[in-house]
Amino acid sequence: MTFHLIASLMTPGHFRSAWRLPDADPNAYLDIDYFRGLARTADETGLDAIFLGDAPALGPEIATSPGTGIDPLILLGHLAAVTERVGVLITSSTSYNSPYNLARRFQALDIVTRGRAAVNLVTTYAPAAAANFGQTEPAAKETRYRRAYEFLTVVRRLWDSWEPGAIVADKQTGRYADPELIHGADHHGEFFSVAGPLPVPGEHPVVVQAGGSEGGLKLGAELADVVFTVAQTQAKAIGFRDDIRRRAVAAGRGADDVKVSLGVIVLVGETEDDARERADELYATLGIDQLARGVLTALGLGDRDLDEPIRPEDLPSVPLAEAGSVGFQVSTRALLADKPLSARELARHAPGSGHRLLIGTAQHIADDLTAWWHAGTADGFTIMYADTTVDFDRFARLVVPLLIERGLFTPAEYGSTLRERLGVPQYGQRRADDTAAAG
């Protein structure tokens, strides 16, 4: 059994207003030295991967907080070069990329990092992105996921271009490669026509998928290695993981072939008082009313009193596919079923993202993660930080040693690949070949 830890480097933090704190540098998200420091800490701690979310557009939130930031492939590609063992997980869009370019770039990153590359393939909700790629508005979500499925199918086929043994390199005969063992993708589908093959051999980088709607679940269970998810209650998380595992088996894969990584935001206090004080400070930077109105929109509730309790039956009977994240809506519904909360309370409970927020000492946070893991909620956690500058360091320094002490987390070993550490097998053809060779 593996237990993984992935660190989101989103800056200033998942409290998007943390840049307003007296000691914060509002422009840290543009500072390469700052990111190098985070990456080195992650590497020294033995975390499995560092991660950056992304959307290829400037969002409306820029009026109040830094946007998603500089191109994460360049940034994390650079950070990979100043680290030795931490994986680099980079968000890329299936709606605004071509499969050949993406397959080639991530293969290259995987080669130069010796197996530390991973891609978080998203369909990109951000409406502003469409206009950057010649479209007036984003395609419907169902269409975006159909494209994503075809996209990843082609990418996997390209990564399978070279069979083992294709490089002959016989100096006597002068024969370098056996073209019979190099295959094109030869793909002609609804969205793409791609010949292939890729010009060099490589492995499959790790693929993560983060959608919670039907299209996202199918893509994750059938074609991804890791699924990111959001949950506010253990029951919801366990149900989600069971569902992904069942779907993987139904698709002919092993239940353990797909790992579930649960998002958690942490605010780490040196003491309980310190945690409470920092939480008060961070909440004071937020425009709670504005966040609360965002929550109402995301839930499809429109205008409503911000203090009126919301019960699950107040929500639209079917999650709104186009209104944002189905995963977020399902998670919030499960939370409200436990206890009705007002929009203002919901905004305070999960400021701006819908992820569970853990506020407390290192001990409290380690206890919580341990309990959630043992309950079968996830194979590991994607840790997001309330204020990345402070909480990333504290999590690494204070929480991770407790998780190691409990035998839950094992720091990444030098020379291991991210795939090995996460415990996910090679995908597809290559895996079938390995199995045949082993048998």
Residues at the contact surface with ligand FMN, assessed by CB under 6 A: 53-55, 91, 122-125, 210-213, 216, 228-230, 263, 325-327, 382
Cβ distance 123 to 141 under 8 Å?
yes
Cβ distance 365 to 240 under 8 Å?
no
Q: What backbone torsions phi and psi does residue 69 show, to the nearest 5 degrees?
A: 110, -165
Q: At closest approach, how far in Å is the CB of 395 from ligand FMN?
A: 16
Q: At closest approach, how far in Å is the CB of 144 from ligand FMN?
A: 8
Q: Which is nearer to ligand FMN, 197 or 211 (CB)?
A: 211
Instruction: State the DSSP H helix or E strand holding residue 357, giving kind and residue range, or none if neither.
Output: strand 356-361
Q: At closest approach, how far in Å is the CB of 319 from ligand FMN?
A: 7
Q: At closest approach, how far in Å is the CB of 325 from ligand FMN?
A: 3
Q: What ranges make up the beta strands (E) of 196-258?
A: 206-209, 226-229
User: In the structure encoding, which two tokens stand for residue 193, read together?
Assistant: 């026509």
Cβ distance 43 to 418 under 8 Å?
no
User: In the structure encoding, which two tokens stand for residue 336, read together?
Assistant: 């409200």
Q: At closest approach, how far in Å is the CB of 159 from ligand FMN?
A: 21
Q: At closest approach, how far in Å is the CB of 359 from ligand FMN?
A: 19
Q: At closest approach, how far in Å is the CB of 309 from ligand FMN?
A: 25
Q: At closest approach, how far in Å is the CB of 121 from ligand FMN?
A: 8
Cβ partners under 8 Å of residue 160, min gap 6: 183, 204, 428, 429, 430
Q: Which is nearer to ligand FMN, 185 or 326 (CB)?
A: 326
Q: At closest approach, how far in Å is the CB of 232 from ligand FMN?
A: 12
Q: Which is nearer to ligand FMN, 86 or 230 (CB)?
A: 230
Q: Which is nearer to ligand FMN, 161 or 325 (CB)?
A: 325
Half-sphere exposure of residue 79, counting CA atoms within 13 Å on the CB side?
31
Contacts 24+ apart (CB under 8 A), 297-301: 297/323, 297/324, 298/323, 298/324, 298/325, 298/328, 298/329, 298/354, 299/323, 299/329, 299/332, 300/329, 301/343
**Token match 């397959």: residue?**
103
Q: Which is nearer to ligand FMN, 49 or 185 (CB)?
A: 49
Q: At closest approach, how far in Å is the CB of 216 from ligand FMN?
A: 3
Q: Which is nearer to ligand FMN, 213 or 361 (CB)?
A: 213
Separation CA 48–CA 52 (nearest Å): 14
Q: Which is nearer to ligand FMN, 210 or 386 (CB)?
A: 210
Q: 270 by DSSP, 3-state: which?
A: coil
> Which among 111, 32, 38, 114 has a CA at the least distance from the CA of 74?
32
Number of C-beta neighbours around residue 339 at 10 A: 10
Rounded to 10 deg, the angle between the 214-223 and 326-338 helix axes is: 110
Q: Which is nearer to ligand FMN, 196 or 215 (CB)?
A: 215
> 2: burial class by Cβ within 10 Å (0-12, 13-18, 19+)?
middle
